Chain A
Amino acid sequence: MNLMNHLPALALAVPLLAAFATPLVAAISPKARNIWVTCVSALVSLIVFGILYRVLTMGTQIYVMGAPSWNISLPSGFAIPVRIILEVDAFNALVAFIASLSALAGAVYGLKFVRKFTGLEFYSALYFLLTAGTLGMIMTGDLFNFFVFLEISSVASFGLIAFWRDRPEAVEASYKYMLVSQLAAQLVLVALAFIYGRYGVLNMAAFSTVVQPDLISKVVLVFLLVALAMKCGSFPMHMWMPDAYAEAPASVTVLLVAMSQASLVVLCRFCFSIYGTAMGTAVIPWTLIVLGCASMFGGVSMAVVQHEVKRLMGYHSVSQVGYMLTAFGVGLLALGDKTAMDGFGLTAVAGGIYHMINYILYKGLLFLCAGALYMAAGSRDLDKMGGLARKMPVTSALFLIAAAAISGLPPFNGFVSKWMIYESVYAVHPILMVVALVSSVLTLASFVKVYQTAFLGPERPQFAETHEVPRAMIAGMCVLAVAILVLSLFPSWTVNTLVRPAAEALVNKASYGAAVMGGAL
């Protein structure tokens, strides 16, 4: 048995089984739990890296669950796949790897960040469930399986957001997220029922080969678009995001960021790889562009006036999602027109994907830095901070890297992805670029505010005894910082080796369907 063939299944099975084993390991000792959490998270990252490497060298990988052979998607006598199939191409393999890195960073960081609280065995169990749910949403090729992973990740995140259950605000944030999430989940379930009723398939690749631009298919797409846009924090359905991101422990928020991007991955998959030109309307691309521009400007203008550090970053998340929605909307406009796709469409999609992985990394790092500030200052209110760069030089430097990257300052990775988005959206209308540029300026303004008020200025007497956060937390932050620096220093390698293949895989509907269906249907 070649273990490498089973990596997609292992990427889901390892965190899922680890989640249920964690309370047993934690019963041995807290140290055993810490070693277990670190090793499992590192193993998951290694497995997903293996998947990414195989996809980049061998092409799209499929994995058929429960079949006699892992790669027989259509056994003889079957016209459509009936088993759960994982389909991993250059697009979702890349996002899955970055999500697994952020899960590793959050797990290592959390070893010290939440060490003083009770219920850590359940915290770690839910953390692994959230990791499994996020990776499952990204890698699955089955519609109902996607719904199951959506629910797994949602339920795990409800518990983790309310981890500090002695804080009423945390329980309230979790409840609000649960309310809108469950409504979205119902919408997804109805959409899947429509698909099965109309086409009799639940496999994504099979659905992509039969979907027609009729009324039912359009209603399905709208239901999925709204549900997934809400899950990734699009304006005006974003209100849960600042609440949840602010109240969850920082080690969890980093994974919530990755989970929000898993929703965006599925949204892109539906729009590009499944529907494509069968969408039959320009309303969907323009809806994404309008939602994107509203998210960009609305999110950042709310962020710039906040003085609670994690809430400020929560509103920034809305703004960052706006860049991606706009880029993907512009990419969708170019579908079916080779000249437009070569001219600006593929660059827009590549810019959106590049920004997606950048966002998971630098926003994760920013939330971890905010958690470090909270630990050191005992407050999330920027008004009560100041002069902390003297006491926390490493955190200060790591924050500076992430803030410069999210603000799109050269030579950081955020600059390259924003630049690709600016140039491609300009081709559709210059106003889109203006909105993106103004949002970027306001992003810089708000992070200048955070850095100036938290880290600079004279030393405050109340922080005389404050010192740098524990090494495990620094290590967690460094995982993301190193990834940011690699993407920043080697933009050509990143674009040519990772991002362009991902963009080409995403827009290639025929190859997505053929990987599972072959010549069938």
Chain B
Amino acid sequence: MFSSVFSGAGFWDAGVWLLMFVFVGGYAFGIRRMGRSDYKKGTDQDEVYYSGNVMPDVDVFTVPASSSYWGFREALKGYYSRLSAMHTGIATEYVGWFVLTAAVILVLVIV
């Protein structure tokens, strides 16, 4: 039940990883215990230091999901324009892709 899984080319043991997590967790907890004990929640100590400036509004300094991986999308602009063109949302095109796939596979199998 707790033994390793062998694939023929390697093995996997969840127990080793769990031991690693326990070790790393204990190490992190030890570092945390070395922190200052005079921290007070709800005081100025909670304030984010923003290079001495007033913190801007939340929406200004968070990256929205629609802007994530902007560079990735720009680098693959050609690929994404073709992929998006496939996804028109038109019901008859859904049927068209289905029929086209069936026809291509049928020809490949029969010929």
Residues of A within 8 A of B (CB): 175-176, 179-180, 183-184, 187, 215, 218-219, 221-223, 225-226, 229-230, 236-237, 239-240, 243, 281, 283-284, 287, 298, 301-302, 304-305, 307, 343-344, 347, 381-383, 386-387, 410-411, 415-416, 419-420, 423-424, 445, 449-450, 452-453, 457-461, 488-493, 495
Are A283 and B17 in contact, CB atoms less than 8 angstroms apart? no
The answer to the question of B65 belonging to the interface, with a C-beta cut-off of 8 Å to chain A, is yes
Which chain A residues lie closer than 8 Å to B91 at the CB level?
175-176, 179
A225-B101 Cα distance, complex, nearest whole Å: 10
Residues of B within 8 A of A (CB): 1-5, 7-10, 12, 14, 17-18, 21, 58, 62-66, 68-69, 72-73, 76, 79-80, 83, 86-87, 89, 91, 93-95, 97-102, 105-106, 108-110
Complex A-B: 24 CB contacts under 8 Å: A221-B109, A222-B106, A225-B105, A230-B98, A236-B100, A237-B97, A239-B87, A239-B94, A239-B97, A243-B89, A283-B105, A283-B109, A307-B64, A383-B64, A383-B65, A410-B14, A419-B12, A423-B9, A452-B68, A457-B58, A458-B58, A458-B62, A490-B1, A492-B4
Q: Which of A343, A344, A458 has the most chain B CB atoms inside 10 A of its CB?
A: A458
What's the nearest-Cβ distance from chain A to residue B45, in Å? Answer: 16
Are A420 and B7 in contact, CB atoms less than 8 angstroms apart? yes
Q: Which 9 A-B pairs have the closest CB atoms?
A: A382-B65, A411-B17, A307-B65, A383-B64, A453-B65, A226-B102, A307-B66, A493-B1, A411-B14
Which chain B residues lie closer than 8 Å to A491 at the CB level?
5, 12, 14
Are B101 and A187 in contact, CB atoms less than 8 angstroms apart? no
A461-B57 Cα distance, complex, nearest whole Å: 10
Are B87 and A302 in contact, CB atoms less than 8 angstroms apart? yes
Are A453 and B64 in contact, CB atoms less than 8 angstroms apart? yes
A240-B7 Cα distance, complex, nearest whole Å: 36
Are A490 and B62 in contact, CB atoms less than 8 angstroms apart? no
Are B2 and A490 in contact, CB atoms less than 8 angstroms apart? yes
Q: Which of B4, B8, B86, B89 has the most chain A CB atoms inside 10 A of its CB?
A: B8
A281-B100 Cα distance, complex, nearest whole Å: 21
In this complex, what residue of B is CB-closest to A459? B58
Which chain B residues lie closer than 8 Å to A237 at the CB level?
94, 97-98, 101
Q: In terms of DSSP, what is the predominant structure of the interface of chain A?
A: helix
Are B1 and A236 in contact, CB atoms less than 8 angstroms apart? no
Are B65 and A183 in contact, CB atoms less than 8 angstroms apart? no
Which chain B residues lie closer than 8 Å to A183 at the CB level?
95, 98-99
- B58 contact from A382, A386, A411, Cβ within 8 A: A386
A411-B19 Cα distance, complex, nearest whole Å: 11
Q: Which of B12, B68, B79 has the most chain A CB atoms inside 10 A of its CB?
A: B68
Which chain A residues lie closer than 8 Å to B2 at the CB level?
490, 492-493
- A305 contact from B73, B94, B97, Cβ within 8 A: B73
In this complex, what residue of B is CB-closest to A229? B101
Are A449 and B5 in contact, CB atoms less than 8 angstroms apart? no
- A453 contact from B1, B68, B76, Cβ within 8 A: B68
In this complex, what residue of A is CB-closest to B70? A305
Given contacts A187-B102, A283-B109, A411-B18, contact A450 B79 (CB under 8 A): no
A341-B64 Cα distance, complex, nearest whole Å: 48
A183-B105 Cα distance, complex, nearest whole Å: 17
Are A226 and B98 in contact, CB atoms less than 8 angstroms apart? yes
A459-B59 Cα distance, complex, nearest whole Å: 11
- A215 contact from B12, B14, B110, Cβ within 8 A: B110
Are B79 and A301 in contact, CB atoms less than 8 angstroms apart? yes
Are A449 and B58 in contact, CB atoms less than 8 angstroms apart? no
Are A180 and B62 in contact, CB atoms less than 8 angstroms apart? no
Given contacts A222-B105, A225-B105, contact A460 B10 (CB under 8 A): no
What's the nearest-Cβ distance from chain A to residue B104, in Å? Answer: 9
In this complex, what residue of B is CB-closest to A461? B58
A217-B86 Cα distance, complex, nearest whole Å: 32
Additional A-B contact list (15), CB under 8 Å, known A222-B109, A347-B7, A449-B68: A222-B105, A237-B94, A237-B97, A239-B94, A240-B94, A243-B89, A283-B109, A287-B108, A302-B87, A304-B69, A304-B72, A411-B18, A489-B14, A490-B1, A490-B2
